Chains A and B, each alone.
Chain A
Amino acid sequence: MHIHKYEKWWLTFGAAMLIAFLVIVGVSAFHGGTHPNNSKWTINYEKVDEIAPFDNPGVHKVEGKDWDYEVVLVASAFSYNPMEIEIPVGSKVRFIATTKDVIHGFEVAGTNINFMLEPGYVSEKITTVDKVGEYVIVCNEYCGTGHAMMYSTLKVVDADDNSNSH
Chain B
Amino acid sequence: MTTATVTKEIKNKNSSKENTTTKEFTKVDRRDAKLALAHIYVAFIALLLGGLAGLLQVFVRSGQFTLPAGINYYQILTVHGVLLGLILTTYFILGFQTAAISRTSGPLSNKQRTIGWVGFWIMTIGTAAAAIMVLLNEASVLYTFYAPLQAHWIYYLGLALVVVGSWTVSLSQGLRYIQWRKENKGKTSPLLSFMVVVNNLMWFVCTLGVAAEVLFQLLPWSLGLVERVDVLLSRTLFWYFGHALVYFWLLPAYMIWYTVLPKIIGAKIFSDSLARLAFMLFLLFSIPVGVHHQLTEPGIDGFWKFLQVVLTFFVVVPSLLTAFSMFATFEMRGRELGGKGLFGWFKKLPWKDSRFLLPFIGMVAFIPGGAGGIVNASYQMNELIHNTIWVTGHFHLTVATTVVLTYFGAAFWLIPHLTGRVLTKKMNDLAVTSGIMWTVGMFIMSSAMHIAGLLGAPRRSEYSTYGGSEQAAEWIPYQIAQAVGGTILFITILLIIGIVINLIWFAPKGEEEFPLAELAHGAEKTPAILENFKLWGVILVALILIAYTFPIFDIINNSPLGSTGYKFW
Contact = CB atoms under 8 A, between A and B. Distances in A.
Contacts of A37: 296-298
Nearest to A143: B568
Interface stretch (A4-12, A55-63, A87-95, A158-166): A4-12
Interface string A141-166: 11111111101010000000000000
A2 B524 contact: yes
A40 B297 CA distance: 10
A7 B278 CA distance: 13
B interface residue count range (under 10 / 10 to 19 / 20 to 34 / 35 or more) = 35 or more
B72 interface: yes
A115 B383 contact: yes
Contacts of B458: 105, 107, 138-140, 148
Contacts of A132: none
Contact of A118 (B299, B302, B324): B299
Interface string B297-316: 11111100110011001101
A126 interface: no
Interface string B122-133: 000000000000
A21 B310 CA distance: 10
Contact of B561 (A15, A35, A40, A46): A46
Interface string A110-147: 11111110111111100000000011101111111111
A148 B462 contact: yes
A35 B146 contact: no
Contacts of B466: 136, 138, 148, 151
A113 B382 CA distance: 11
Contact of B467 (A38, A103, A120, A151): A151
Interface residues of A, number: 71
A45 B563 contact: yes
B383 A1 contact: no
Interface in A51-72: none
Contact of A120 (B77, B146, B559, B569): B559
B313 to A, nearest CB: 6
Nearest to B391: A140
B34 interface: no
B376 to A, nearest CB: 12
A121 B386 contact: no
Interface in B273-298: 273-274, 277, 294-298
Rank and list the top 3 A-B pairs by shortest CB-CB distance, nearest first. Answer: A144-B568, A109-B456, A120-B560
Interface of A: 1-4, 6-7, 10-11, 14-15, 18, 21-22, 25-26, 28-30, 34-46, 77-78, 101-103, 105, 107-116, 118-124, 134-136, 138-149, 151, 153
24 contacts: A11-B320, A14-B320, A25-B306, A25-B309, A28-B380, A29-B302, A30-B302, A36-B305, A38-B298, A40-B299, A42-B559, A45-B563, A46-B561, A105-B458, A114-B386, A114-B387, A116-B294, A120-B561, A121-B232, A122-B298, A134-B469, A134-B470, A136-B471, A140-B461
